Structure 1
Amino acid sequence: MSLAKIIEEIKSKHDETGVLTIHLNTDASSGNLSNGEWKIHLKNGLKELKEDVKDKPSELKALKKLQDKVETEIAVHQREMRKGFILIASADGELWRARVLQVPVTTSFHWGKTAETQQIEALEQQFPETALVVVQQAKVTFIETSLGIIRDTKKYSWDVESENWVDPEEAAQSLARGGGKDEFQHRFEENQHRWYKSLAAQLEKEVKDRGLEGMYLIGSKESVSELESHMNSGKLKGVITKNLGSKPEHEILNEVFETLI
């Protein structure tokens, strides 16, 4: 489900007892959060909400029940905490959305008949659903992201025999049968323009089919420049000239968002 549809689902939920909305800044690079102070903010924020409804027994009971579930959820994700965390849950149990973020949020707590969605709507505008396209000459990684979370990954490698961008394992088998790395490098240099033109069309189709806002190109200046020249400018959100192809996907994501934020 797209983030826009998730937000629509959250906004449409109405619960007479209450809906809990938590935005939690967990960024360790923030001066006052370097030692996990966000845990104290979480405890204090929930305590204040309970204090606000102490004269409303049904709401207080529901809030205490949700607090237990919230603490369990956060314990599960504690090691993954990066920049922020959002949790929205209704007292009737029909709505439960929790997400660790690679983008910052302002810590806030809300209890009402509907959720507080202002921050997540602003984040959707600032960090829309996009693809990170990591280029490493004839190897490309397509990473679908939403608010700094990896939703899916697809890899491409150029296959010499079929002259097409295929799964890396297929390309490796073709390379082993062919003339080896030296011949491949020679052919790559001769055909780079044509091959990247083909790749650009495939990437743009992937973005369209997935309903994404666009893509960021990441890689060496030479590779990115060549691929960029074939791109529809309307689909290209930006270019990051960093050679990150050898890094794990979560590290790529972290570095890219550090650059964008």
Structure 2
Amino acid sequence: MSVRKDIKRINGIEDDIGVLTLYLHTDASNPDLNNGEWKIHLKNEIKDLKYHADNAAPEAEKKALKKLLKNVEDRVGELQRDLQKGLVIFTSADEKLWEEMILQVPVTTTMHWDKAPAVQQLQELVQRYPNTGIIVLQQQDVRFIETELGSIKDEFAYSWDLNREDWLDYGGDTPPGSRSSGQDDFQQRFEENKSRWYKNLAPRLGKEIKDRGLECAYLVGNNENVRDLEDHMASAHLKGVLPKNIGMKPSHEIVAEVYEELV
């Protein structure tokens, strides 16, 4: 399920006693957080809501809020090794709602206690980091990575088959990265025909972008190859180009570079 659908479902929930929402910025690469300062920020948020519970809340609300704060604090401790850049938790006093999301994008640390979940920040994140395709070129091999909020939802690969004169869909498998027999000949034919071969591939990529409901796509690869494919892609599908030859990197590192430099 997409985060947009999660938001729609969560946003319809109410609790007469209260719903607790946590946004926690946990990015260890951030110089302000790399010594675990996010734990201090979390304790401060919990402290403020406990003060509210002790000084302004009716007894039923006080009991429910303190219980939820304890549950959330314990859960963050359990998730500590898995945290990335952000964490979101929604939980209700009636215990019908517990939703947690470990995000690959940063959030602003804050806690909310209200009759309904505080989804606004999550909605803003989805607007900023929508469902996106990242198309990674390595000459005759092309990876397509589908992301949302910086997380990889799906990926597959195409590779040009010289004998069939067509792109083969390798799904989630890795295409052959080496063609040792006749590699020099293949390279020469690739250079001579790549514009035509990329023209053949562009409609397939465009169909994937449309069928998956992606809002945009980014091209990644060396400048010359990216330019050749870009010429055949619909401009409405492309939001940016990263002229870097990083196709051999793991997918999550490619996504991180694209987000850092283009998003």
Common fold: TM-score over 0.5: yes
In the alignment, what sits opposite 1:236?
238
In the alignment, what sits opposite 2:150?
148
- CA RMSD between the two structures: 2.4
Q: Distance in 2 between matches of 1:108 and 1:87?
A: 11
Which stretch shifts more, 232-241 or 187-196? Answer: 187-196
In the alignment, what sits opposite 2:160?
158
In the alignment, what sits opposite 1:134?
136
In the alignment, what sits opposite 2:91?
89
In the alignment, what sits opposite 1:41?
41
Which stretch shifts more, 187-196 or 128-137? Answer: 187-196
Shift of 1:227: 0.8
Shift of 1:94: 3.1
In the alignment, what sits opposite 1:106?
108
Q: Which sections of structure 1, spanning at least 5 residues, go unmatched? A: none
Shift of 1:76: 4.3
Please give the TM-score of this superposition, normalised by the length of structure 1: 0.89
Task: Answer yes or no: is 1:251 the counterpart of 2:250.
Answer: no
In the alignment, what sits opposite 2:18?
18
Task: Answer yes or no: is 1:58 the counterpart of 2:60.
Answer: yes
Structure 1 counterpart of 2:258, one-letter code: V
Q: Which sections of structure 2, spanning at least 5 residues, go unmatched? A: none
Q: 5 Å matches for 1:147-186? A: 147-168=149-170, 172=176, 180-186=182-188
CA shift digits 1:76-99 (9 cap, x unpaired): 442343332222222333333222
Q: For 1:52, what is the secondary structure of its paired residue? A: helix
Q: Distance in 2 between matches of 1:217 and 1:34?
A: 31
Structure 2 counterpart of 1:109, one-letter code: M
Verify the 8 A CA contact 1:20 1:115 in the aligned structure 2. Answer: yes
Structure 1 counterpart of 2:96, one-letter code: E
Q: Distance in 2 between matches of 1:101 and 1:46?
A: 21
Q: Distance in 2 between matches of 1:173 and 1:78?
A: 36
Aligned length: 259
Structure 2 counterpart of 1:205, one-letter code: K
Distance 1:210 1:75, change over 3 A: farther
Verify the 8 A CA contact 1:159 1:170 in the aligned structure 2. Answer: no
CA shift digits 1:67-121 (9 cap, x unpaired): 3443444344423433322222223333332222232221111011111122111
In the alignment, what sits opposite 2:117?
115
Q: Distance in 1 between matches of 2:216 and 2:38?
A: 33
Structure 2 counterpart of 1:49, one-letter code: L
Q: For 2:15, what is the secondary structure of its paired residue? A: coil
Shift of 1:235: 0.9
Please give the TM-score of this superposition, normalised by the length of structure 2: 0.88
Shift of 1:134: 1.1
Which stretch shifts more, 89-98 or 245-254? Answer: 89-98
> What is the percentage of aligned positions where both structures have the same residue?
51
Q: Distance in 2 between matches of 1:151 and 1:72?
A: 28
Verify the 8 A CA contact 1:3 1:129 in the aligned structure 2. Answer: no
In the alignment, what sits opposite 1:220?
222
Verify the 8 A CA contact 2:13 2:117 in the aligned structure 1. Answer: yes
In the alignment, what sits opposite 1:3?
3
Verify the 8 A CA contact 2:209 2:216 in the aligned structure 1. Answer: yes
Shift of 1:172: 4.1
Which stretch shifts more, 63-72 or 105-114? Answer: 63-72
Q: Distance in 1 between matches of 2:94 and 2:200?
A: 51
